[in-house]
A and B are shown apart, each in its own frame.
Chain A
């Protein structure tokens, strides 16, 4: 090897040069990405030319990151860029598991995106102090809100900051998916499709579920020889809500809140409605065997539509995506039954856009958001994200899209469910949202693993923990 040329002296010089170079580099003034010419060479490039304002749309707080969705989103951006010459839009797509990390890094570095879209009610709540209040924009532009479902107008309002962070955008109401084949096999009538039918209650759901909870020998849960240890099929599953929306459950039993007093200073997770609803969960698993336990749930939860081991599945419309299409079973949708007090509630998940207050061009962000949420374009977004538009004028487009995919499905159930959304939204803001969510999820876990089957004991303990987090939150905020 001929390396005589490089002596120690040369090496030291080289090192010094490197240091000098890097120090120089780090001392050059920061180049805000907004002004940096985009070095894009790809197909989707819409480089911001000198006088155009750049709007970066951050995707990753929910749906919208799958490859075919990204393609469609870029096409929409191209359409916008071609439609005017003041603003250049581009998408920044981040896998949802790590979207928070990336977003916080961008915010901390002062390079926040102009729009986060889509972002769910829960996502909005994580960064309560980060978002721009859009009320001033709405009144400045006299923005017409009449096309939106009235029940959705307050979805993205927050009482603590007294502000609105996004327009109603896309909706994911929930309903009861049912596997027709399991009903047929048990010789039962399908559950009703319209909300509020007098005999469609949780008590009735329980009766149906018992007959479709089966062991390996084909015995159902009403029969004396039913072998619980070898259960292979379950009548009902609400793991989707327990995992995603656990604070909504008690509202079905008549609770008027999602775990807190109106001023969010007192935790109320052990109110009677809460204890009764959670005891119902515990009994449904451990006494009646109509729902799978945590241990058993892994076997079915990944996708009940594909396994066909669940007769009724309480979940949101987002499952109407790809996975649902591949099912070999005949599924349909029914109304959510009434709880023991007669309350009917279909937990809502809803997406919108938000404008980070540290973004470079928040005004341009609003302009782009308006265009995206317009009568023409919101249905297009819904087409990409598989959801119902919060604009009533979008119903037809939704019907068409879904009818092509699921010709046998009764879509009216979805439109009706919007009227029964949870108020206040159970996904909505509470003090220290993720800490509370983690604590609640842990308590759900205790019931579902059977570690403690007494809902009162579990919720009493939970309420103490949540109150502690809440007190800390308010102490810091003041």
Chain B
């Protein structure tokens, strides 16, 4: 427990900072040392105008006064209760009074300055449809690789794996050309359709899991007259539930966070996904880091929730004993 707690604290520091930054004014995000609790200067109203409140030593005594003006190195101060008499003191000696202030409006600003709801809708469509496609196609393909013998199958498996080994930077342009010729650019299709054709990472993973399931189970079912697909859906898939959960989690995270494919294939803001939309908060010369953090927090939440519930599948013993029993 002790080890777990120390590790957890180390891992949580970043998240805490992210949360803190999401409720900061822009000016406090990028400073050193990092600010953990957002503050703002306390202002007082004198007459119609607002002035910052400072602690400043006057005649050897620290007083809390309003800073009215600054002329070169000299500050002009006044007591807000009796503003008519002013004091002069070195400006550098004045310490601004600050109070803790969480800028919750960062969230409303971040969610309205970009069409957040539209982005979220697109992200949900892309993520869930492609997740369904990946789970379905990858598990079927993995079944083929794990449970059957055929000439050349080993070579094909290696071919499948090798698709992950060529850096995508060099296939990017031909792939774009292909989707452009298909008329798929500026649609969600390039983000969804390929998922229905399985991918090496998930096929390999599921194959590994299918290979741990004893063959006797298939054979017993086959003797009972079960066909290829019955064995797949009735025996292998339920037994591989933890692996399917892992694939679902990985794919969800990947699709939800991927901004590169949407960036390359989408042209109109009404088709953008959240991950792509977030990129715009980090523009040249105008970094809205505080808004970026607020939007990031909102974007990360679904992933966290999904994981929290999905990890229940990883509870030891249930799967095997449930079937054997």
Contacts and interface: CB of A to CB of B under 8 A. Distances in A.
Given A4-B230, A8-B228, A327-B27, A109 B180 contact: yes
A329 to B, nearest CB: 10
A450 interface: no
A238 B16 CA distance: 33
A475 interface: no
Contact of A105 (B73, B176, B279, B286): B176
A300 B32 CA distance: 8
Contact of A65 (B113, B233, B234, B280): B280
A3 B234 CA distance: 9
Interface residues of B, number: 54
A98 interface: yes
Given A109-B177, A322-B26, A95 B283 contact: yes
Contacts of B228: 8
B170 to A, nearest CB: 12
Nearest to B276: A95
Interface stretch (B155-163, B265-273, B302-310): B265-273
A68 interface: yes
B14 interface: no
A328 interface: yes
A184 interface: yes
Contacts of B268: 38, 40, 42
Interface stretch (B56-64, B181-189, B241-249): B181-189
Interface residues of A, number: 67
A3 B279 contact: no
B227 A8 contact: yes
Contacts of B172: 101, 105
Interface in B271-292: 276, 279-288
A208 B283 CA distance: 34
A26 B182 contact: yes
Given A62-B284, A323-B287, A97 B279 contact: yes
A70 B286 contact: no
B284 A184 contact: no
Contacts of A95: 263, 276, 279-280, 282-283
Contact of B269 (A42, A106, A110): A42
Given A8-B227, A105-B176, A1 B288 contact: no
A67 B281 contact: yes
A306 interface: yes
A102 B285 contact: no
Interface string B114-156: 1100100000000000000000000000000000000000000
B38 interface: no
A50 interface: no
Given A31-B183, A105-B173, A109-B180, A299 B32 contact: yes
Interface string A297-321: 0011011001100000000001101
Contacts of B178: 26
Contacts of A28: 183
Given A98-B260, A181-B92, A108 B173 contact: yes
B185 A111 contact: yes
A6 B232 CA distance: 12
Interface string B162-203: 000000000011001110111101110000000000000000
A81 B92 CA distance: 55
B266 to A, nearest CB: 10
A331 to B, nearest CB: 13
Interface of B: 25-28, 30-32, 41, 70, 72-73, 91-92, 96, 113-115, 118, 172-173, 176-178, 180-183, 185-187, 227-230, 233-234, 260, 263-264, 267-270, 276, 279-288
Given A26-B181, A96-B283, A302-B32, 6 more contacts: A11-B229, A30-B180, A33-B185, A42-B118, A63-B283, A95-B282
20 contacts: A30-B180, A30-B181, A33-B185, A38-B268, A40-B270, A42-B118, A63-B283, A63-B284, A65-B284, A66-B280, A67-B114, A95-B263, A95-B283, A106-B176, A109-B185, A181-B91, A322-B26, A323-B285, A330-B70, A386-B286
